[in-house]
Chain A
Amino acid sequence: AQTVTQSQPEMSVQEAETVTLSCTYDTSESDYYLFWYKQPPSRQMILVIRQEAYKQQNATENRFSVNFQKAAKSFSLKISDSQLGDAAMYFCAYRTLNEKLTFGTGTRLTIIP
């Protein structure tokens, strides 16, 4: 079975600082996609960033970037210049060719003004 582990239930960061959220996963597949989703309080879940396992270059979307370590099965999310609007639950997820999208348990990120 696919598993995704987010070992940090809660994180906090000062506004304008950088924070890194951790994620590890377990799969025997070589071809898959990894995702980070953001779920603000009482609002819909939205895709933050995604990474294809075959691409060595780490994905970047504005202030969001990932550190993808395929051999270690690690997929961390770095948020630079944190803003108040970044406060949310962050879910790591992955999906293989023949399997459903599997989510981790989430990390609650608090931004300290």
Chain B
Amino acid sequence: EAEVAQSPRYKITEKSQAVAFWCDPISGHATLYWYRQILGQGPELLVQFQDESVVDDSQLPKDRFSAERLKGVDSTLKIQPAELGDSAMYLCASSLFSSYNSPLHFGNGTRLTVT
């Protein structure tokens, strides 16, 4: 069964450094999501792409976070500079359509630790 690929699986970085995460959605999925999951909480949406366009980045801290999906396929989420409070699991998900009944398929996530 096709899966959403994410890398790296784990990342440790020092405060003020830059860090980047990569996601490759299921082939043919037009909608891609980045979620942040703080330990003990449910995932929260950071950014949603429809093809290469951002359709929702209202919860993305734009002073330090950026996301791109240049060719409408894979995507990169960047944090610069990283802060201690950014330690979390970063989940990528994709869906065939953006509609509310189209289920999301998640990757394994990248666990970020900022020291």
Which residues of A are interface residues toward B (Cβ below 8 A)? 4, 32-33, 35, 37, 42-47, 50, 52, 91, 93, 95-97, 99-101, 103-106
Contacts and interface: CB of A to CB of B under 8 A. Distances in A.
Main secondary structure of the interface of B (DSSP, over half): loop
Contact of B91 (A33, A45, A97, A100): A45
A106 B41 contact: yes
Contacts of B106: 37, 44-46
B24 to A, nearest CB: 14
B103 A47 contact: yes
Contacts of A46: 106
Contact-residue size bin, chain B (C-beta under 8 Å from the other chain): 20 to 34
Interface in B27-46: 40-45
B103 A32 contact: no
Contact of A33 (B42, B44, B101): B101
